[in-house]
Structures are given as structure tokens and as C-alpha cells.
Amino acid sequence: MIGLVPIGDTDISLLESLRAPLEEIFGQKSRIADKIPLPKESWHRDRKQYFASSILAVLPSPSLSADGVLGVVDVDLFAQGLNFVFGQADVTGRRAVISLYRLRQEFYGLPHDEDIFRQRALKEAVHELGHTYGLGHCPNPACVMHFSNTLSDTDLKGWKFCSVCKRRMEV
């Protein structure tokens, strides 16, 4: 079971749209948990961003019935040493978080495109959940586990695992 956790003002319909593809990719059911508030202590006033690790810390740990937990936020995230992140995973805790904030065309001054936005959200969700299953970054730029330093990197990769990563998932 994969737990999907909306955090703060996150649109539940997006999480609903992620369920079927995540279930197909990971071969297990998913469920949307109750919404939790965005932790106030994660806000970094000087950067005007939220610290991803602080958000990960408030995510519930997977229960015996869940293999992983994915939090979804609609705020700008950063990690230590990085200007921003699309997501972050706590591999040992099997928890991850993704941010929708920079996945929208509008962030870059472009017209809204719901299909592109949802594809990007799915890629980031699969990527971060892949980390919770023990996968590292993949050198194959078409693999969902390839590191996305820019949105172009996310757009270029697919939403599925390459054959190497898929084999690693099956072990």
C-alpha cells in the first residue's frame, strides 16, 4: 500500500489522478490519507521557501499496511545546498515529499497546461517513491529515476523505470 498525504492547500483531485498510474507502476494499492497542515517551522523567511526535510519529518511513517508514504505540497521547497527541489525522500523512513509549485507552466510565465502539469507531478511522484524503494539516481536520461536539476530534465524523462531500475525494483 502506498499512502498519499495531501499537505496544506493541496488539491485532492491531483492525488486522485496519481493513484491509478502509481498502482500500476508499483503493483500495489494506494490510498489518500487525511490532509495534514503545512508545518510552520518548515518556512524559511529569508528564502521565502519551505525546508523539505522539515516537511518530511511530519509525514506519518508507513504503517505495517503501507510500503511507502508520499506527501504532496503546493509550496516552493528547498534542501540544504540547493536553490530548490521538486521533491525529497527519506529512504530509511520510506517517506517522500513532492512539490507541485515549480511543475506548473505558469511558474515560468507560460500558459497553463493541465496535461503537462499532471505528467510532471506523476514523474516526480514515481521518482521520489522510487527512492523509498531503495533506488538511487539513474544515468539513463529517459528513466524516471534520472536526477532532475531543471524542469527540462523532468520533461525529457519518462514516468516509468528503465530496464535496469525495473530489475532492481523486482529484487
The pLDDT value recorded for residue 71 is 96
Q: What is the mean predicted confidence (pLDDT) over 133-139?
A: 94
Identify the bridge partners of residue 89 per DSSP, sorted by sequence position: 96
6-39 tens-digit pLDDT: 999 999 999 999 999 999 999 999 999 999 999 9
Span between the terminal Cα atoms of the chain, in Å: 18
Rounded to whole angstroms, how far apart are CA atoms 124 and 7?
16
Q: Are 69 and 62 in contact (CB under 8 A)?
A: yes
Looking at residue 60, its pLDDT comes to: 83
Give catalytic residues, as residue numbers.
128
Q: Give the strands of the sheet with 87-90, arranged side by side.
A: 30-32, 2-6, 68-73, 95-99, 87-90
Task: Tell me: pLDDT of 65 over 80.
Answer: no
pLDDT band at 91 (very low <50, low <70, confident <90, very high): confident
| Annotation: CATH topology of 2-170 | Collagenase (Catalytic Domain) (3.40.390)
The predicted model gives 112-124 an average pLDDT of 97
Confidence (pLDDT) at 149: 87
Q: What is the DSSP letter of 57?
A: H
Is the pLDDT score of 56 beyond 80?
Answer: yes
Lookup result for grid cell 533506488: 135
Residue 83 is predicted with a pLDDT of 93
